[in-house]
Amino acid sequence: MSKPLMRIPYTGPLPPPLVIPATANTLTGAAKALVEFLTHQRTLNDGNGNNKTVLLTGAGISVASGLADYRGPNGTYTRNKTYRPIYFHEFVSSHEARKRYWARSFLGWTSLHKSHPNPAHYAVRDLNKHALFSSVITQNVDSFHNRAHPNLPVIELHGFLRSLVCLSCRRLMPRDEFQRWLAKLNPAWDNFLKELLETGALDTEDPEERRKKGYRTNPDGDADVPGAPYHTFRYPACPACLHRPPIMKDGSKGRVEVDSDGAWSEKSDSGVLKPNVIMFGESIPTEVKSQAEAALDAAGGLMVVGSSLATYSAWRLVKKAFDQKMPIAILNMGGVRKEAEFFPNYESIVDGKNAFRASLAAEEVLPEVVRILGAGNAHR
């Protein structure tokens, strides 16, 4: 049996980005080389029909939607140097950690909820009209791929923010409904959010403009407001567990208690709601891991967009593709973890048929690929 696959971030420095082929250093050159890569895979036949490309995406593809990236354009943590995501064990074991998480999530949800897929996501949809992609594996939790191209299969490697899951009964709950509960339990925070709206901090999709207004958002849908009293925040219990206490692993009946307003009480030992995402330090479900590996095995090539491969769960997929001698393309601003390993003898590569690497914006390159192929307009 394989070991559990955890979402662990790599925070070390990344290498300077490669350029493959040499002509991929401009928008036009990169787009033409990427067209070569995608169309060349369709001409190949391994006898099993595996001649499409599987797409692996990360936070960088959603930056143009107004969502922050973990790293800056040079591959370093310059966006928010003090940002430290919550780890799974902290969320599960600490009431105070959950208060802080849900307070930040309460503020950040408005930005995520107002955001939309950008031209890069719609370019994926339009390129699929040429049957270039077999499926999408995304590290992102924003559900933009599902919205932009519902007919192209999407494997959400790290889950999704559109729902919550109860750690006891495993029932799902819509995030919009939970947001209304949070507002009701935390009127002062709700007023603070309204004040943020009045400042215009949420009107712009530019993360830099938001930071100037004292409001910083992060890729996992939370927000950071320096000096905020997170300890005052309250969150509800799972309504299903409150109605019918869950059975614990030892066979005993769980205890779920709430205060007079319906907020989860520390007297409880169950009924905790968690975002339906894979937090750092949490194991990716075996079925999701298997789906991602199967998608890779069913493809003829791999294309990475907007990911520095800083999490091992993503890096290992590219390493698997390399070990299987699959053609690899990477479109990402800044460096990528151990990228030189995937492109041996890269200096001798003269076209994009079997290898591609460019450090350019996905929302610019992919629509240009669409234009060259005449596949659509890369917008809604």
What are 26-77's pLDDT values in tens digits? 999 999 999 999 999 878 765 555 789 999 999 999 999 988 665 555 444 4
Q: Decide if pLDDT at 379 tops 80.
A: no
Q: Is residue 169 assigned to a domain?
A: yes
Angle, helices 286-297 vs 312-323, to 10°: value is 30
Nearest to 275 by CA among 124, 99, 375, 141: 141
Q: What amino acid positions are annotated as catalytic residues?
A: 158
Query: Does 169 belong to an annotated binding site?
Result: yes
Number of domains in the chain: 2
Nearest to 331 by CA among 354, 358, 349, 351: 358
Give the Å distances, CA to CA, from 356 to 24, 138, 156, 330, 361. 8, 19, 24, 6, 14
Shared domain check, 173 and 97: yes
> Among residues 277, 304, 330, which one ends one of the domains?
277
Query: Does 271 belong to an annotated binding site?
Result: no
Give me the CATH number covering residue 40.
3.40.50.1220
**What CA–CA distance (Å, rounded) separates 192 from 204?**
18
**What CA–CA distance (Å, rounded) separates 324 from 300?**
10
Query: Does 196 belong to an annotated binding site?
Result: no
Shared domain check, 356 and 321: yes
> Among residues 277, 295, 310, which one ends one of the domains?
277
Q: Is residue 380 assigned to a domain?
A: no
Q: Is residue 71 assigned to a domain?
A: no
The identity of residue 179, as a single letter, is Q
Shared domain check, 249 and 174: yes
Domain that holds residue 229: 88-116+160-277
Q: Is residue 30 assigned to a domain?
A: yes
Tokens of 198: 């009045």
Shared domain check, 259 and 349: no
Asked if 307 and 328 touch (Cβ cutoff 8 Å), the reply is no
What are 112-128's pLDDT values in tens digits? 888 999 999 999 999 99
Shared domain check, 239 and 154: no
> Among residues 242, 277, 312, which one ends one of the domains?
277
Shared domain check, 261 and 139: no
pTM, 2 dp: 0.88
Asked if 130 and 377 touch (Cβ cutoff 8 Å), the reply is no
pLDDT in the model for residue 111: 82
Query: Does 241 belong to an annotated binding site?
Result: yes
**How do 133-138 and 154-156 pair as beta strands?**
parallel
